[in-house]
Amino acid sequence: MSEHTDALRAHAVLHCNLNTTDITAGETFYNTAFDHTTKMTSLGNGTDVTAMGLTEPATSDTRFLWDARGPRSAPSFELVEWQRPAVIPSSGDKVLGYLAAGFRTPALDAVAARLDSAGRATEKVDVTVRGHSRRAVKGIDGEGIGFEVVEVAPSADEPHTTLFSHLRARCADLSATVAWYRDIGFEVVAGETHGDAVSLVLPEDPTFSLEFEQADVDASQIAAHRNLAANTHGLYRIALAVDDVWASRNALADKYDGIPEPAHISMEDIPTGGFTILFLRDPDGTMVELVERPRSAVRRPAAPDQTYVPRVSTI
The Cα–Cα gap between 149 and 165 comes to 9
- Type of residue found at 33: A
Tell me the domains of the chain and their CATH numbers.
Answer: 12-295 (3.10.180.10)
Cβ(245)–Cβ(183) below 8 Å: no
Q: Give the pLDDT of residue 2.
A: 38
Q: Give the pLDDT of residue 51.
A: 85
- Type of residue found at 263: A
List the one residue out of 20, 10, 14, 12 whose CA is nearest residue 235.
20
Cβ(188)–Cβ(200) below 8 Å: yes
Residues contacting residue 237 through CB under 8 Å, at least 6 positions apart: 16, 17, 98, 230, 279, 286, 287, 288, 289
Residues contacting residue 257 through CB under 8 Å, at least 6 positions apart: none
- Type of residue found at 89: P
From first to last of its 315 residues, the chain has per-residue pLDDT tens of: 434 456 678 999 999 999 999 999 999 999 999 999 999 998 888 888 888 888 889 899 999 999 999 999 999 999 999 999 999 988 767 889 999 999 999 999 999 999 999 899 999 999 999 988 999 999 999 999 999 999 998 877 788 999 999 999 999 999 999 999 999 999 999 765 567 899 999 999 988 999 999 999 999 999 999 999 999 999 999 999 999 999 999 999 999 998 989 888 766 666 666 678 899 999 999 999 999 998 988 988 765 454 455 455 444
Q: E strand or H helix at 222, and its extent?
A: helix 219-226
DSSP 8-state class, residue 312: B
Burial class (CB within 10 angstroms; exposed 0-12, middle 13-18, buried 19+) of 314: exposed
Strand positions, DSSP E, the chain? 12-19, 37-47, 58-66, 76-84, 97-105, 122-129, 132-140, 146-151, 163-171, 187-188, 197-202, 205-214, 234-242, 263-266, 274-281, 287-292
Q: Give the pLDDT of residue 312.
A: 52
Q: What is the pLDDT of residues 89-137, one digit of tens each?
A: 887 678 899 999 999 999 999 999 999 998 999 999 999 999 889 999 9
